[in-house]
Structure 1
Amino acid sequence: MCDYSKALEFYEKSHQIYEKAVLPTHPDSVACDSNIGAVYNKMGDSSKALKFYENDLEITKNALPSTDLSLTTSYSNIGQVYNNMGDYSKVLELYEKSHEIYEKVIPPTHLDLATSCNNIGGVYNTMGDYPKALEFYQKAHEIKEKTLPPNHPGLAASYNNIGLVYNDMGDYFKALEFYKKSYKILEVALPSNLLHVASSFSNIGSVYYSIGDYSKALEFYEKAHQVKEEAVPPNHFSLAASYSNIGEVYYAMGDYSRALEFYEKSSKIRETSLPPNHPSLAETQLSFAACYERINDYAAALKALQNAFQIQQKAFGEGNRAFGRTYT
């Protein structure tokens, strides 16, 4: 179990000693700033994380050449904080600074360059710039193809990323093509009970669901669930997601009693593993409401909608777009 407050206490004691004993530019002092920043970032205190990470960056910039690889770590750390804050343009700026150093210093087939391309691709995907996301994910994949053996899990990850972009673009058949390439590697490279395999099954299931092939969607969602059941405890949050996915398929097939059964299983796990105002609990209530409406149990549907509304009020406040589905 991570005790962040205790870690912070010891890092700050260490920092006080370094302040008295060595110059601020001493590598151990700089590393201490970075460690404190990392703890604050884990604790969700973005402003304090930024303070220490930026102090680390300034000292590193003043002490080392502009192309020193230590700067890539500093830029990436600050980028992660801005990513948590949702400031994606700032994340992109920092990741690109890191990437420029990599391009100047390391060989073009170095895996750190692939990771950098992957990070930039992820930001573009989050921002909805799918062509740029594809460009950088494909660059990352090309580097991995030159560096890694053909059945390495790293190649499966890049196929999966490319598939995710095509899925977000609505090109489901291309998404399916890349998801299947990813799975073929995972099938031989990793044990069958790993969550990476479950994720691969879920992604394939989601594509079949999107194109209306519900029997195939159900097949892959159930495979994902079976893997998770072997890999995680019975009340693990990931099981709630797979129960919900299976419920969505039954709902789409018009089997509302089965859909309710799986929504109920999902709800029980979410209620025990999430805070009472978590948005996922509202989503479950909305799923209940949709099912009850279909079977003409309007009183139960209304109660579920009211439950969803109360959760959303606490989670978001009035005016958030999350209320749209509740009102409709």
Structure 2
Amino acid sequence: MSGQLSTADSIKVEYYLQRADTLYEMSDYDSLPYLYLEALSYFRQSGNRMMEAQCLFRMAEYYRIISDIKNAELYLSRGEECIDESMPGYAESFADWYYIRGKILSSKGNYREALQNIQMAVEIQNPENLRMNARYMNFIGNIYSYMGDLDSAFIFYQKSFDLINAFTDEPAIEKAWYYMNVSQIYKERGEYDKVLEYLHKNIQVYNDIYGEDFQELCSSYLNLANYYTSTGSFDSASYYLDFAEIFIHNDSLSLYNRIPILFTYKGTLEYFLGNYIEAKNNYNQALQAAIKVYGSDHPNLRVYYNNYANCLKATGDYNNALINYQKSLESS
């Protein structure tokens, strides 16, 4: 039976949501299901369908983050069923739906459809919500980057940066994303001085907001390791890989999808050092981890099969190299 929440229950559910949303911003995901499901129970009891939908959307995002796409789609669908066009806040809630759906589609490698969904979120969202629109622009940049269109990616990353700077002069997570993402574009362009500059800016923002134990610093250190490998500073590369591995060991749930990257960069370092057997083992671990993260038919697997095949070839295992080159081609 639905009804109004008591004052005590209202305080409790507000605490659950505030704590969950704060942990989400900190990339600390372990407690999210408990907190969101507790809040969901209260909103169902009170008959607040809009907030029920928001809790379901948050659960969908949680499952997307941990690469459980089946449950992500299930919770997103349940949230959609809660939304009624007559509800106050309908437009903003549907913008959330499009945004999360776009992220789920991107996780599946359906980049064109993902882009369409994020663009729908942009059209629906209040343009005065600068922070949310900055996040949309950032993710559109991500999608273009995934598709290899770095010029378009750079344009949308810059739009995101301009919006978040209009929103606040203080350090913000969106500014850290910008520095990270643009550093990778500069890397692809061979502008290595800017890569290092922007990675250090990314790390500084993360430290300013959350301190040196912030989980997302794992990605910063992985990219620093890759930068130093690319520039031949192998000791520095090894140092930052060790740093990143500590983060992953300390929080394997939140950083689950960094495991393929860790082993890829370890494999790349060993390959550059001429340790092809070690490189092969690391690339194989990267491939197996990527299959767990993305599934067996995701286009992201192409690079993992290709790396593994290159090492098999370098060690003289030509038959298995050909098999994995073929799998790389089939994943494209």
Q: Structures share a fold, TM > 0.5?
A: yes
Q: Give, as a single letter, the amino acid of the residue that structure 2 aligns with 1:321.
A: L
Contact 1:141–1:155 (CA under 8 A) maintained in structure 2: yes
Residues 321, 69 of structure 1: alpha-carbon distance in 2 compared, 3 angstrom cutoff: same
Q: Aligned residue for 1:230?
A: 246
**2:105 pairs with one of 82, 91, 102:** 82
Q: Which runs of 5+ in 2 are unaligned?
A: 1-29
Residues 247-279 of structure 1: per-residue CA shift (max 9 Å, x gap): 423433xx43x343354466579779976x965
What SS does the corresponding residue of 2:315 show, helix, strand or coil?
Answer: helix
Residues 180, 219 of structure 1: alpha-carbon distance in 2 compared, 3 angstrom cutoff: farther
Residues 109-138 of structure 1: per-residue CA shift (max 9 Å, x gap): x32222122122222222333222212211
What SS does the corresponding residue of 2:84 show, helix, strand or coil?
Answer: helix
Distance 1:62 1:227 in 2: 51
Contact 2:283–2:308 (CA under 8 A) maintained in structure 1: no
**2:320 pairs with one of 281, 306, 314:** 306
| Aligned-pair identity (%) | 16
**2:96 pairs with one of 67, 73, 77:** 73
State how 1:41-190 maps to structure 2 within 5 Å: 43-45=68-70, 48=74, 51-56=77-82, 59-64=83-88, 68-106=91-129, 110-148=130-168, 151-169=171-189, 171-186=191-206
> TM (normalized to structure 1)?
0.63
Contact 2:57–2:96 (CA under 8 A) maintained in structure 1: no
Contact 2:137–2:160 (CA under 8 A) maintained in structure 1: yes
Q: Give, as a single letter, the amino acid of the residue that structure 1 aligns with 2:177.
A: A
Q: Aligned residue for 1:298?
A: none
Q: Give, as a single letter, the amino acid of the residue that structure 1 aligns with 2:152.
A: K
Give 1:40 deviation, angstroms: 8.2
Name which structure has the greater RCO, CA cutoff 8 Å, separation 6+: 2
Larger gyration radius, structure 1 or structure 2 = 1
Q: What's the Cα RMSD here? A: 4.7
Q: Give, as a single letter, the amino acid of the residue that structure 1 aligns with 2:109.
A: G
Q: Give, as a single letter, the amino acid of the residue that structure 1 aligns with 2:329.
A: R
Give 1:241 deviation, angstroms: 4.4
What SS does the corresponding residue of 1:155 show, helix, strand or coil?
Answer: helix
Distance 1:32 1:187 in 2: 29
Give 1:181 deviation, angstroms: 2.6
What SS does the corresponding residue of 2:127 show, helix, strand or coil?
Answer: helix
Find out whether 1:292 has 2:315 as its counterpart: yes
> TM (normalized to structure 2)?
0.63
Find out whether 1:249 has 2:269 as its counterpart: yes
Q: Which runs of 5+ in 1 are unaligned?
A: 294-300
Distance 2:244 2:204 in 1: 19
Give 1:170 deviation, angstroms: 5.0
Distance 2:152 2:291 in 1: 35
**1:261 pairs with one of 278, 284, 302:** 278
Give 1:160 deviation, angstroms: 0.6
Give 1:321 deviation, angstroms: 0.7
Find out whether 1:321 has 2:317 as its counterpart: no
Distance 1:205 1:235 in 2: 19
